[in-house]
Structure 1
Amino acid sequence: MIPGARLVILGRQGAGKGTQCVRLSRHYVVPHISTGDMLRAAVREQTELGLMAKEIMDSGGLVGDEIMIGLVAERLDRADAQTRGYILDGFPRTVTQADGLDEVAGDKPIDVVIDLYVARDVVLQRISARRVCRDCGTNYTATGTERQPWICEVCGGDVMQRADDHPDAVNRRLDLYEEQTAPLIEHYTSQGRLVVVDGVGAPDEVFRRLTDAIGKRV
């Protein structure tokens, strides 16, 4: 039987992190816990921390370290995360959060922190090529060879590029990610806990690299 695992997955937007986290979740039979999903669930369930986070988000602010650590502690205390482990996607984002995670994990520490590395120019190209049907929501990747690039093959609706997928907007998000994450990567590297995995290649190939790297730590 494949053992469980307690993982942190880092990576630039467009690195394929979401796709690989879903696959890893199925492989290790552990929950995939993303920051966005966790926040939405806490707000929906109207937990004390969820209501605090909602008030901050509604006012346009960023949820602080203390609340985020508390939300993660609540989530990791659930049975599905206690039995075999979990995959954290989008947390921690700061060194303070990383230290808080270590306290929350206690005697069941994180097995490995993975940096799914894809160069900035590659993720920029990937994100800039994303398209979506305005009517039915079907996702596409522009290749430049489409006969009718702006017409949906599913419903005939209008295919468009999201406003936040234009290069200027993407570059701003990548700048913010790198500013936030550089100290975190240095922190985990200095502790010998970070493993960098090449995220370029076919999904199956990248998945194999990930499981090989994780298998050396669990």
Structure 2
Amino acid sequence: MDQTTKPLLIPPQFALYAEKHEIFELYQRMLSQLIIHKPEDPMQFLIDLLRKDVNSSATIVLGPPASGKKTLSKLLSKKTGAVLLNQNNLIESMPNSLKNELSKEIKEKSLQPHQWVKIIRHRVEEYDCVRKGWILENFPETRPQALALLSSGIFPKHTVVLTGEDSMLLERAAGKRVDPKNGDIYHTTFDWPQEQTIQNRLVIPEKYTEEHLVQSLMVYNRHIEGVLDCLKATTKKINVDQPKGDVFNQILDFISRPARSHALITPRILLIGPYGSGRRTQASALAKKYDIVNVSITNLIKEAVAHETVLGLAIKPHLARRAPIPDSLVVPLLVERLGKLDCVSRGWVLHGFPRNRDQAEALERNGLAPNRVFFMDIPPDSIMERITLRYLDPITGERYHMLFNPPPTQEIRDRLSQKSTDQEPIIRTKINLFYTTVRHMIDYYENIGIHINADQDPNTVFESIESGIVNPVPKAYDEDTTSS
């Protein structure tokens, strides 16, 4: 018996629950911490870990001198709410017992990698870092520090590495000014303060003399590759030779995307777009490449009617009258199909449904929430060009398009026919109906919706959709303005 016809239904809520609560990632974190710490009492260790386990952010920001890592880290902390950590405030926030223990090394600035990690571990385990997440600026600086950090169980989810040509960094450093009152850094060209009182007290920092900077760049370049070799799984390099606002937005976009999960996620994809946007073409391509089930609501309805199922018999009178089919008939049909073994085990791509917010909410209520939603954006004029110029050869069954794929001979052109539903007035009506309801679905799927420019070559559209599938959905932060 074919697996699609087996009378086996698996509640899709199982997978939804595991994905929603990140059960796989939770087990992964627990197991890694067990292996690293090797506690005498594993059960109690796991209980304590679960009590404080919060999947908050953990970001490292690295970069050469004059790359702007301090300013960008501050902006990132302000935007995300994560606690900003650097070598200065880590030492300041140490408990007295730890300060006394490491007083000699702190005074001589000779802290060893394991000592730095001890300080960092104490800080990141405090309540604010656990709940809000943390951003660690300019650490690790060497490969031994990076190895010590990882071996202690401190794993960054994102590592931002700022890059730039040495000549550009030297030129940028020449304009650096520091506020001795609070340590804030400004620039004579890119970031000059508005207040005259601040301008008056700015000084040229000693560490930004050319000689000092050249030496610092040599040290940084000597060690950075060893550091990145340890953190390569979480690293993204960003060139800082562009406006600060652009650099910040690239960083924010990177850390907003959850770390790649090794969990086996079953694709549940919605393609939403107007008639003629290419949903059917893209669904077919996705199903073929990823071996997922291509579910067309139109085909489901036709099959139910043809097989004279209970739902099909109830739907048939509505089709005969060309009347809208009630959701009370369509939703059960869809729930039955998406609950079958092939859809639950392999995943699915659905198009033609939902067409409004009520239908989207019905999917959610029945445990069929998608994990990717693509809105296929295309101008109405492009749709008209695609649809109203396509014709069919009634003899050969070959499809032609008067603009993109015209018939080769006049004889074929003369016998072409056009579907009655491809007439301009009918297409205009369908487009208008779509745009009156789609804005409500855009709001509903705000957190997982991805907009795709569908007015392109089908292969380009497919690549855009594929990118949205393989990459995690970015986390949304509150909007505010970032100066550039």
Band the TM-score falls in, shorter-chain normalisation: 0.7 to 0.9
1:169 maps to 426
Q: Does the Cα contact within 8 Å between 2:277 and 2:378 map onto a contact in 1?
A: yes
Instruction: Provide the C-alpha distance between the structure 2 equivalents of 1:159 and 1:3, rounded to a whole number of angstroms.
Output: 46
User: Does residue 1:19 correspond to 2:281, yes or no?
Assistant: yes
Distance 1:25 1:124, change over 3 A: same
User: Which one of 347, 367, 385 corresponds to residue 125 of structure 1?
Assistant: 385
Q: Does the Cα contact within 8 Å between 1:149 and 1:159 map onto a contact in 2?
A: no
- Displacement of 1:144 after TM fit? 8.6
CA offsets 1:82-119 (integer angstroms, 9 cap, x no match)? 1121011111112121111112226xx41111111111
- What secondary structure does 1:32 align onto? strand
- Displacement of 1:21 after TM fit? 0.7
Letter in 2 for 1:208: E
Instruction: Provide the C-alpha distance between the structure 2 equivalents of 1:23 and 1:61, rounded to a whole number of angstroms.
Output: 31
CA offsets 1:21-44 (integer angstroms, 9 cap, x no match)? 100111221111111101011112
Q: Does the Cα contact within 8 Å between 1:128 and 1:165 map onto a contact in 2?
A: yes
Instruction: Provide the C-alpha distance between the structure 2 equivalents of 1:76 and 1:166, rounded to a whole number of angstroms.
Output: 34
Instruction: Provide the C-alpha distance between the structure 2 equivalents of 1:150 and 1:188, rounded to a whole number of angstroms.
Output: 48
Q: Does the Cα contact within 8 Å between 1:5 and 1:28 map onto a contact in 2?
A: no
Deviating beyond 6 angstroms after TM superposition, the runs of 4 or more aligned structure 1 residues are: none
- Displacement of 1:46 after TM fit? 2.0
- What secondary structure does 1:60 align onto? coil
Letter in 1 for 2:388: S
1:38 maps to 300
User: Does residue 1:134 correspond to 2:134, yes or no?
Assistant: no
Deviating more after overlay: 166-175 vs 117-126: 166-175
2:450 maps to 195
TM-score (norm 2): 0.41
Instruction: Provide the C-alpha distance between the structure 1 equivalents of 2:322 and 2:470, rounded to a whole number of angstroms.
Output: 41
Letter in 1 for 2:319: M
Distance 1:208 1:52, change over 3 A: same
Letter in 2 for 1:38: L
Q: How does 1:39-118 map to 2 (within 5 A)?
A: 39-105=301-367, 109-118=369-378
User: Alignment identity in percent?
Assistant: 23
Q: Does the Cα contact within 8 Å between 2:392 and 2:400 map onto a contact in 1?
A: yes
Instruction: Provide the C-alpha distance between the structure 2 equivalents of 1:159 and 1:167, rounded to a whole number of angstroms.
Output: 17
1:204 maps to 459
Distance 1:134 1:215, change over 3 A: same
Q: Does the Cα contact within 8 Å between 2:274 and 2:430 map onto a contact in 1?
A: no
Letter in 2 for 1:126: R
Letter in 2 for 1:164: T
- What secondary structure does 1:105 align onto? coil
Q: Does the Cα contact within 8 Å between 1:111 and 1:217 map onto a contact in 2?
A: no
- What secondary structure does 2:451 align onto? strand
Instruction: Provide the C-alpha distance between the structure 1 equivalents of 2:376 and 2:328, rounded to a whole number of angstroms.
Output: 26
Q: Which has the greater radius of gyration?
A: 2
- Displacement of 1:183 after TM fit? 2.1
CA offsets 1:142-161 (integer angstroms, 9 cap, x no match)? 029958665338xxx71123
- Displacement of 1:210 after TM fit? 0.6
Instruction: Provide the C-alpha distance between the structure 2 equivalents of 1:81 and 1:22, rounded to a whole number of angstroms.
Output: 15
Q: Does the Cα contact within 8 Å between 1:31 and 1:87 map onto a contact in 2?
A: yes
CA offsets 1:54-87 (integer angstroms, 9 cap, x no match)? 1222233211112111111111121111112101
Q: Does the Cα contact within 8 Å between 1:114 and 1:196 map onto a contact in 2?
A: yes
Equivalent residue pairs, number: 211
Letter in 2 for 1:215: V
Instruction: Provide the C-alpha distance between the structure 2 equivalents of 1:204 and 1:103, rounded to a whole number of angstroms.
Output: 34
Distance 1:145 1:25, change over 3 A: closer
- Displacement of 1:11 after TM fit? 0.9
Deviating more after overlay: 36-45 vs 141-150: 141-150
TM-score (norm 1): 0.87
Q: Does the Cα contact within 8 Å between 1:6 and 1:86 map onto a contact in 2?
A: yes
Instruction: Provide the C-alpha distance between the structure 1 equivalents of 2:428 and 2:471, rounded to a whole number of angstroms.
Output: 34
Instruction: Provide the C-alpha distance between the structure 2 equivalents of 1:61 and 1:172, rounded to a whole number of angstroms.
Output: 15
Residue segments in structure 2 that go unaligned for 5+ positions in a row = 1-263, 474-484
Letter in 2 for 1:84: R
Letter in 2 for 1:77: G
- Displacement of 1:181 after TM fit? 2.6
- Displacement of 1:167 after TM fit? 1.9
- What secondary structure does 2:277 align onto? coil
Instruction: Provide the C-alpha distance between the structure 1 equivalents of 2:459 and 2:320, rounded to a whole number of angstroms.
Output: 40
Distance 1:217 1:103, change over 3 A: farther
Q: CA RMSD in A?
A: 2.4
- What secondary structure does 1:152 align onto? helix
Deviating more after overlay: 44-53 vs 175-184: 175-184
